[in-house]
Structure 1
Amino acid sequence: MTAATAQQELDERCFLSAQSMLTLKVSEHFQVLKLLGEGSYGKVMLAVHRKRGTPMALKFFPRQSTSLTSFMREYNLSLSYCTHPSLTRALGIFFSTPTYYVFAQQAGLYGDLYSVIVSEVGVDEECVQRVMSQLSGAVTHLHSLGFVHRDIKPENIFLCDSSCRWVKLGDFGLARAIGSSVRAVWYESPFCTPEVEPAKEAMQELERREGTEEEEEEEVEDIWISVETTIDSWALGVLVYCLLTGCFPWEESTQDDRGYRRYKEWFYRQAQREERYKDEEWVEEAPVRSCTVGQMDERPPSQFAGLSSLAMTLLKELLHPEPKLRGSPEEILSYLGGPWLMETEMEERRKAEEAEKELRKIREGGGVEEELVREGRGER
């Protein structure tokens, strides 16, 4: 399905659904049990349908701050396109109250991913790979239907069990069709892609003008960007790092951030070095060169010190500073099974060396026994 077709189909679904919007009293149809979460969008309550006895999550959007269009878009996208097992799906129930728009969705009864990440520790490496495998499939599925999530973060990944064996990506309020244009909005977060840095500069320019008495009152023009799947790739890369370390690699993806700047400089040094290795003449000269400086250049920035070479290769794919060269979420599957932490990599290497030693002993022992047998037979 093309992005244009996806957007047109979603718009039609929204238009038809809006015609059948009912006004209900929540207490007459649902038993509300507890608050599951809240944010700028509104709140989510755990509830049980009084007639069906079905547990579900009711998502409340304040009518004062939510347009009917945005409400219907999120509801219909979740209902009709979130058919992957790791995408949170709406349940076909939507209505309004005097103060809210509401729709029902599958409930994540064990909280969100943010609640299980231990600060400066992360989560178990096996758990990380399990979660990322599911999210890779979910996001790839959403992309195949023509949409980009645009808001992947731990708070929007819900747990269906306490061990993260089944997770669901939710909150599709920012999801848009691939190729559509949206106003670039910068926000201070590692999940914010570097391609919207110009929006930060525009915002700073506007603040500067407001604080002066300049005669020119020209407004800073809005910066528009195209919605591409690589937005989700970047967020998944940051999420991998967050789960493995319990930290973020940087505070914001701009040149003003020292952590990101060091990563970007290292990234391009690596890219240049790889290009040089492709030159056969340079490879022939390499053995006679001193590698001390090269080895120093190879080391990732200090915030990546605990990650294995396999994890760093994956992160370089997902966290490519240039969006057009960024890897796809599906590529995560190619990196599953190997060590993502340095400790695990070293342990696997140690086990491999021990296994090699044992094999060598067996071979050497087998050679001695064979020689003794030959001598016993009088063979030379």
Structure 2
Amino acid sequence: MPGKQPEPRPAAAVASEHDTKDSLGGLTPEELQQGQEAALALEERMALGAQTLVHAEVEQLYQEVRPLGQGRFGRVVLVTHCQKGASTGTGTTMALKQLPKTSTSLRSFLYEFCVGLSLGTHPAIVAAYGIGIESADSYSFLTEPILHGDLIAFIQPKVGLTPSEAAQRCAAQLASALEHIHALGLVYRDLKPENVLVCDPTCQHVKLADFGHTRPRGTLLRLAGPPIPYTAPELCALPPLPEGLPIQPALDAWALGVLVFCLLTGYFPWDQPLEDTDPFYEDFLVWRASRQAQDRPQPWFGLAPAADALLWELLDPHPRRRSPVGAVRGYLGQPWRQQDEEASGLKEGRQ
């Protein structure tokens, strides 16, 4: 959940035409314009959102049913409407995300609230309701309730997501959600199992949540703190502009590749995408360069050729050669684990 963060500067404020063609994810004029339009639309929505905030204490409006999630900067609870004279809430349940003012500015709250509204209706994105609340100590907004926790609880260590079809189903839904976000000129920037909510006990349907880190395409970004497995390698290098790297959807493609690996294996492919620091990432680069079976890193044992091909596309260290998130669709229905491939071969042999 987002708290107080420095606001990245739009690329348009500093980037020249020469800068936008830099090899580390530079923008074409069309891409830059798309990001500018998205930024302007968000500013307009935030101005309107500030004018329509409901000023009241949450307890006066909603009855808490139970907690749904707790993060560093806030919490999410299941609520129902309060009615005067009633001892409990009544009516439809909703999820209320509450962010304390001690760690959240009005602008950062409005930003996350309005990004969620700008995404509209998508089956794999948590639907935001147009109700923002300012209380004495917090800011809050309402979304549809997702009641089965997040994806991290469904990923088994050293096993991944089971049954195996669930990994493909989850990857396809998330790729569709990210494509929708990218089509609106935005980059999600925070894909991880904790931000993927599960709608049912068997993980048939998932939804993307938490949009506090989402930014318009082309926003200049610097890496804050050490990289994590989902951090794309171009963010770990010196930025092409002093103010940072103009962000692109390729950042989300990298994170999706890492998440797919986690879904299939139950662990990360590496800790950090740094060649001279992380031996697992270095082994991956050696394998990519040689394309020889003997160089296949141990964490990749057990994956089928279709999964290898998809992950090589999404985890290309060069952002301009990296496949978009929609590449997932080209590999659906094929075995992603060797055990699935073997089971399929046995089945065909019996027929």
C-alpha distance in 2 between matches for 1:121 and 1:18 = 46
* SS of corresponding position for 2:281: helix
Find the counterpart in structure 2 of residue 369 from structure 1: none
Between stretches 149-158 and 84-93, larger displacement belongs to 84-93
Q: Structure 1, residues 56-107: CA drift from partner, whole Å, max 9, x if none? A: 1111111122121111111111012142111112111111111111101111
Q: Find the residue that maps to 1:323 and give its secondary structure.
A: coil
Q: For 1:310 and 1:260, how far apart are their aligned partners in 2? A: 20
In 1: Cα distance, 2:188 partner to 2:57 partner:
31
Match of 1:358 in 2: none
Partner Cα separation in structure 2 for residue 57 and residue 118 of structure 1:
27
> In the alignment, what sits opposite 1:159?
198
TM-score (norm 1): 0.78
Report if aligned partners of 2:148, 2:198 keep a CA contact under 8 Å in 1.
Answer: yes
Matches within 5 A, 1:179-258: 179-198=218-237, 224-255=244-275, 256-258=277-279
Equivalent-residue separation in structure 1 for 2:120 and 2:70 (angstroms): 22
Structure exhibiting the larger radius of gyration computed from Cα positions = 1
State the shift of 1:268 in Å: 2.2
Residue 222 of structure 1: how far off its partner (Å) = 6.6
Identical residues among aligned pairs (%): 38
- Equivalent residue for 1:5? 37
* C-alpha contact 2:220 2:244 (8 A) present in aligned 1: yes
Q: Which residue number in structure 1 is paired with residue 319 of structure 2? A: 323
CA distance in structure 1 between the partners assigned to 2:339 and 2:52 by the alignment: 57
SS in 2 for 1:114: helix
Q: How does 1:1-380 map to 2 (within 5 A)?
A: 2-50=34-82, 53-124=91-162, 125-198=164-237, 224-255=244-275, 256-270=277-291, 294-297=292-295, 300-355=296-351
2:40 is paired with a residue of what secondary structure? helix
Distance 1:320 1:130 in 2: 23
C-alpha contact 2:49 2:132 (8 A) present in aligned 1 = no
TM-score under structure 2 length normalisation: 0.84
CA gap 1:187/1:38 in 2 versus in 1, 3 angstroms: farther
Matched residue pairs, number? 310
| Structure 2, unpaired ranges of 5+ | 1-32, 84-89
The amino acid of 2:82's aligned partner reads R
For 1:229, the aligned partner's letter is P
Retained in 2: the 8 A contact 1:185–1:196? no
Q: Secondary structure at the match of 2:237?
A: helix
Is the 8 Å Cα contact of residues 184 and 225 (structure 1) preserved in structure 2?
A: no
Give the Å deviation of 1:196.
2.0
CA distance in structure 1 between the partners assigned to 2:289 and 2:104 by the alignment? 43
Is the 8 Å Cα contact of residues 82 and 142 (structure 1) preserved in structure 2?
Answer: no
The equivalent residue for 1:290 is none
Query: What SS does the aligned partner of 2:80 have?
Result: strand
Larger fraction in helix:
1
Separation of aligned partners in 2, 1:148 and 1:49? 34
The alpha-carbon distance between structure 1 residues 132 and 192, as it changes in their structure 2 partners (threshold 3 A), is: same
* CA 1:82–1:40: 2 relative to 1, 3 Å: farther
1:372 corresponds to which residue? none
Instruction: Give secondary structure in 2 for the equivalent of 1:101.
Output: strand
Cα distance in 2, alignment partners of residues 251 and 135 from structure 1: 22
Aligned 8 A contact 1:230 1:328 in 2: yes
More divergent stretch after superposition (24-33 vs 169-178): 24-33
2: CA distance, partners of 1:237 / 1:317: 8
- Provide the rounded CA distance (Å) in 2 between the counterparts of 1:63 and 1:320: 40
Instruction: For residue 115 of structure 1, give the secondary structure of its aligned residue in structure 2.
Output: helix
Aligned letter for 1:179? G
C-alpha distance in 2 between matches for 1:322 and 1:107: 38
> What SS class does the counterpart of residue 3 from structure 1 fall into?
helix
Between 33-42 and 335-344, the greater mean CA deviation after superposition: 33-42
Residue 184 of structure 1: how far off its partner (Å): 2.4
In 2, are the aligned partners of 1:149 and 1:176 still within 8 Å (CA)? Answer: yes
